[in-house]
Chain A
Amino acid sequence: MSEKETTESARTIEFVSLTAGGQGFCIEITLIREIRRWSQVTALPFAEDSVLGVMNLRGAVIPIVDLAARLGLGATEIGARNIVVVTAIGSKIVGLVVDSVSEILSVNVETIRPNPTLRRDGTGNHVVGLLPVDDVMLRVLDLETLFAKGTEEAA
Chain B
Amino acid sequence: MSNDALRATFFAECEELIESLTEGLDAIAQGDRDKETINAIFRAVHSIKGAAGAFGFNDLVAFAHRYETVLDLIRADKLDISAEILRLITRSSDALAELVELTRDTGSASLDPVQDLINDLESHAEAVKAEEPPEPDFVFAPLSVIQIDDPSPTPSGFVIRFQPTAAFYTNGHEPARYFAALAALGTLSVACDTSAIPPLTDIDIDENYLRWTLTLSGDTDADAVKAVFAFAEGLCTLDVSPLADAQEPDTSPEPTDPPASLFGIPLDLPPSGPATAPAITEPTTSPAVPNAAATPAQSAAKAPVKTATTLRIDPDRVDRLINTVGELIINHAVISQKLAACGINNDSEIMAALDDYRYLAREIQEGVMSIRAQPVKSLFQRMGRVVREAGEATAKPVNFISEGESTEIDKTILERLADPLTHMLRNSVDHGIESAEKRQQAGKPAIGSVRLTAAHRSGHVVIEVADDGAGLNRERILAKAIEKGLVPADAKLSEPEIDALLFAPGFSTADSVTNLSGRGVGMDVVKTTITSLGGKVGITSVPGKGSTFTISLPLTLAVLDGMVIGVGSETMVLPLSSVVETVRPSRSDIHEIGPGECVLSVRGTFLPVVDLCQLFGLRPVRAAAADRSYVILDASDTSVAIAVDAIWDQRQVVIKSLEGNYGTVTGIAAATILGDGKIALIIDSEALVGLVAPRRTSRPLVELEA
Residue contact B616 to A45, C-beta cutoff 8 Å:
yes
Q: Does A35 contact B (CB under 8 A)?
A: no
Residue contact B618 to A45, C-beta cutoff 8 Å:
yes
B657 contact set on A, CB distance < 8 A:
61
Cα of A55 to Cα of B330 in the assembled complex, Å: 15
Given A45-B615, A45-B617, A45-B618, do A62 and B661 touch, yes or no (CB 8 Å)?
Answer: yes
Residue contact B665 to A61, C-beta cutoff 8 Å:
no
B678 contact set on A, CB distance < 8 A:
40, 42, 56
Q: Does B681 contact A (CB under 8 A)?
A: yes
Residue contact B570 to A155, C-beta cutoff 8 Å:
no
A44 contact set on B, CB distance < 8 A:
662, 665, 668, 681
From 123 to 155 in chain A, residues with beta carbon under 8 angstroms from any chain B beta carbon are 151-155
Residue contact A155 to B681, C-beta cutoff 8 Å:
no
**Contact residue among B618, B667, B671 (Cβ-Cβ distance under 8 Å from A61):** B671
Residue contact A151 to B679, C-beta cutoff 8 Å:
no
A55 contact set on B, CB distance < 8 A:
679
Cα of A93 to Cα of B660 in the assembled complex, Å: 8
Q: Does B326 contact A (CB under 8 A)?
A: yes
Residue contact A42 to B679, C-beta cutoff 8 Å:
yes
Residue contact B661 to A43, C-beta cutoff 8 Å:
no
Best-buried of A41, A44, A58, A91 by chain B (most CB within 10 Å): A44
A-side binding surface: helix, strand, loop or mixed?
mixed
Q: Does A60 contact B (CB under 8 A)?
A: yes
From 73 to 95 in chain A, residues with beta carbon under 8 angstroms from any chain B beta carbon are 91-94
Q: Does B663 contact A (CB under 8 A)?
A: yes
A-B contact count (CB 8 A): 84
Q: Does B327 contact A (CB under 8 A)?
A: yes
From 36 to 56 in chain A, residues with beta carbon under 8 angstroms from any chain B beta carbon are 40-47, 51, 54-56
| Min distance, Cβ A57 to any Cβ of chain B, angstroms | 9
Cα of A43 to Cα of B570 in the assembled complex, Å: 8
Residue contact A46 to B617, C-beta cutoff 8 Å:
yes
Residue contact B667 to A45, C-beta cutoff 8 Å:
yes
A59 contact set on B, CB distance < 8 A:
323-324, 326-327, 330, 656, 673
Residue contact A43 to B618, C-beta cutoff 8 Å:
yes
Q: Quick one: closest A residue to B660, CB to CB? A: A92
B327 contact set on A, CB distance < 8 A:
58-59
| Min distance, Cβ A35 to any Cβ of chain B, angstroms | 17
A58 contact set on B, CB distance < 8 A:
327
| Min distance, Cβ A2 to any Cβ of chain B, angstroms | 30
Q: Does B680 contact A (CB under 8 A)?
A: yes
Residue contact A46 to B665, C-beta cutoff 8 Å:
yes
Q: Does B677 contact A (CB under 8 A)?
A: yes
A62 contact set on B, CB distance < 8 A:
661-662
A42 contact set on B, CB distance < 8 A:
570, 671, 678-681
Residue contact B570 to A60, C-beta cutoff 8 Å:
no
A46 contact set on B, CB distance < 8 A:
616-617, 665-667
Cα of A43 to Cα of B681 in the assembled complex, Å: 9
Residue contact A61 to B570, C-beta cutoff 8 Å:
no
Residue contact A56 to B673, C-beta cutoff 8 Å:
yes
Best-buried of A51, A61, A151 by chain B (most CB within 10 Å): A61
| Min distance, Cβ B323 to any Cβ of chain A, angstroms | 6
From 560 to 598 in chain B, residues with beta carbon under 8 angstroms from any chain A beta carbon are 570
B661 contact set on A, CB distance < 8 A:
60-63, 92-94
Cα of A40 to Cα of B323 in the assembled complex, Å: 23
A61 contact set on B, CB distance < 8 A:
656-658, 660-662, 671, 673, 679
From 5 to 45 in chain A, residues with beta carbon under 8 angstroms from any chain B beta carbon are 40-45
Residue contact A56 to B617, C-beta cutoff 8 Å:
no
| Min distance, Cβ A17 to any Cβ of chain B, angstroms | 25
A56 contact set on B, CB distance < 8 A:
673, 677-679
Residue contact A154 to B679, C-beta cutoff 8 Å:
no
**Contact residue among B330, B615, B662 (Cβ-Cβ distance under 8 Å from A92):** B662
Given A46-B667, A55-B679, A56-B673, do A63 and B662 touch, yes or no (CB 8 Å)?
Answer: yes
B615 contact set on A, CB distance < 8 A:
45
Cα of A60 to Cα of B615 in the assembled complex, Å: 26
Residue contact B656 to A60, C-beta cutoff 8 Å:
yes
B324 contact set on A, CB distance < 8 A:
59
B663 contact set on A, CB distance < 8 A:
151-155
Residue contact B658 to A54, C-beta cutoff 8 Å:
yes
Q: Does B664 contact A (CB under 8 A)?
A: yes
| Min distance, Cβ B393 to any Cβ of chain A, angstroms | 38
Cα of A55 to Cα of B681 in the assembled complex, Å: 11
| Min distance, Cβ A105 to any Cβ of chain B, angstroms | 27
Q: Quick one: closest A residue to B674, CB to CB? A: A56
Cα of A59 to Cα of B329 in the assembled complex, Å: 11
B326 contact set on A, CB distance < 8 A:
59
Best-buried of B615, B618, B663, B666 by chain A (most CB within 10 Å): B663
| Min distance, Cβ A61 to any Cβ of chain B, angstroms | 5
Q: Quick one: closest B residue to A63, CB to CB? A: B662
A54 contact set on B, CB distance < 8 A:
658, 662, 671, 679, 681
Cα of A47 to Cα of B666 in the assembled complex, Å: 10
Cα of A59 to Cα of B673 in the assembled complex, Å: 7
Q: Quick one: closest A residue to B569, CB to CB? A: A43
A63 contact set on B, CB distance < 8 A:
661-662
Given A42-B680, A56-B673, do A154 and B660 touch, yes or no (CB 8 Å)?
Answer: no
Cα of A153 to Cα of B665 in the assembled complex, Å: 10
| Min distance, Cβ A66 to any Cβ of chain B, angstroms | 15
A41 contact set on B, CB distance < 8 A:
679
Cα of A46 to Cα of B665 in the assembled complex, Å: 7
B664 contact set on A, CB distance < 8 A:
154-155
Best-buried of B330, B570, B664 by chain A (most CB within 10 Å): B570
B679 contact set on A, CB distance < 8 A:
41-42, 54-56, 61
Q: Quick one: closest B residue to A89, CB to CB? A: B661
| Min distance, Cβ A107 to any Cβ of chain B, angstroms | 29
Cα of A91 to Cα of B681 in the assembled complex, Å: 22
Q: Quick one: closest A residue to B657, CB to CB? A: A61
A47 contact set on B, CB distance < 8 A:
665
Cα of A41 to Cα of B618 in the assembled complex, Å: 13
Cα of A144 to Cα of B210 in the assembled complex, Å: 75
Cα of A153 to Cα of B663 in the assembled complex, Å: 9
Cα of A56 to Cα of B677 in the assembled complex, Å: 7
List 11 interface pairs A-B (beta carbons < 8 Å), by A numbering.
A42-B570, A42-B680, A42-B681, A44-B662, A45-B617, A46-B617, A58-B327, A61-B657, A61-B658, A61-B679, A94-B662
Which 6 residue pairs are nearest across A and B when measured between Cβ atoms? A45-B616, A155-B663, A154-B663, A42-B679, A63-B662, A61-B671
Q: A59-B673, A154-B662 are in contact. List 15 more A-B contacts (CB 8 A).
A: A41-B679, A43-B570, A43-B616, A45-B616, A45-B617, A45-B618, A45-B681, A46-B617, A56-B679, A59-B323, A61-B658, A61-B673, A63-B661, A153-B663, A154-B663
